[in-house]
Structure 1
Amino acid sequence: MTSDYTATLPRKRMGAGVVLSDASGRVLLVEPTYKPYWEIPGGAVEAGESPHAAAAREVREELGLTLRPGRLLVTDWVPPRPDRTEGLMLLFDGGTLTPQEAERIRVPAEELRGWAWCDEHEADERLSGPLARRMSAAVRARSTRTSLYLENGFPTG
């Protein structure tokens, strides 16, 4: 029996998130119960799951909203750290939520303390450095109708 060479290649962890905005252009952030900084709605891509499907699932689980994420805004390669493997983080466009949609948001109390609309300055203060850079790049990519590749939140070109 011949084994597939690709089965021997290194595996990367992968995360997928969704950039949601309000009519004023503020982005939606969530406050986890298990870490000191805020996050973008999203999470780990499970085995056999596409990043797009993971982004939709995470929004459903974290916010109680059913939506189909739009186009890919950012791909960010995150280098390994002593406590974490390298990974690929993808951010999809979630569009603009209406006030009525925002009123339907329900967060799981065991995972999230809450959520907030944040302007760029507030997002920079609440997110970790790499995540703030990733979010800023995603907002730029959305406004210019492009897609960006980053490494640890920084453009490579």
Structure 2
Amino acid sequence: MGSELNDYVAGLPRKRMGAGALFVDEQDRVLLVEPTYKPYWEVPGGVVEAGESPYRAAVREIREELGLSVPIGRLLAVDWVPAGLYPGDGVMMVYEGGLLTAEQVDAITLPADELRSWAWCDTATATRLLPAVLARRVAGAHRARTAGITVYLEDGFEIG
């Protein structure tokens, strides 16, 4: 590429990007994790690193955060989030984690320096533990999982 094109591309805006997975149990509760470095809970997942696809990031983060190497399924939700909890806007993706078996649940191992705990949460508990935008994102991803669709969200609100 020519230097003008390189300069142009280098000057394009950058967005924060994250990816996670929605896991459920037999009672259709969602798995949430409690980070040691944040005052609120989250869906298992994390930052998409430079040169990494969002899907690969979700797979890597689940392995790192839960100690699980499980198949990650289809995209459930894409959520554009404005600046708020973090400076600058970002794009967050939630993939299908599926129903965890008893053996998989027993195998969950948390990195003590990163995660304090995990829990199965019904809608009311998730709403209490998550910031509003994350509660809306989890609810949207859960609806998408149930309906067999993918949803597009902005700040957790479904568009379209």
Aligned pairs for 1:117-132 within 5 A: 117-132=120-135
Give the CA RMSD over aligned residues.
Answer: 1.3
Aligned pairs for 1:8-23 within 5 A: 8-23=11-26
Q: Secondary structure at the match of 1:93?
A: strand
Of residues 101, 105, 109, the one that matches 1:106 is 109
Task: Please report how far the alpha carbon of residue 82 of structure 1 lies from its aligned counterpart in structure 2 after TM superposition.
Answer: 8.6
Aligned pairs for 1:41-120 within 5 A: 41-81=44-84, 84-120=87-123
Q: Secondary structure at the match of 2:3?
A: coil
Q: Secondary structure at the match of 2:118?
A: strand
Task: Please report how far the alpha carbon of residue 81 of structure 1 lies from its aligned counterpart in structure 2 after TM superposition.
Answer: 3.5
Q: How many residues align?
A: 157
**What amino acid is aligned across from residue 119 of structure 1 in structure 2?**
D
**What amino acid is aligned across from residue 125 of structure 2 in structure 1?**
E
Runs of 5+ consecutive residues of structure 2 not aligned to the other structure: none
TM-score computed with the length of structure 1 as normaliser: 0.95
CA distance in 2 between counterparts of 1:83 and 1:58 reads 20
Task: Please report how far the alpha carbon of residue 93 of structure 1 lies from its aligned counterpart in structure 2 after TM superposition.
Answer: 0.3
Q: Secondary structure at the match of 1:35?
A: coil
Of residues 112, 137, 140, the one that matches 2:140 is 137
**Percent of matched pairs sharing the same residue:** 55
**What amino acid is aligned across from residue 49 of structure 1 in structure 2?**
E
Runs of 5+ consecutive residues of structure 1 not aligned to the other structure: none
Of residues 148, 151, 155, the one that matches 2:151 is 148
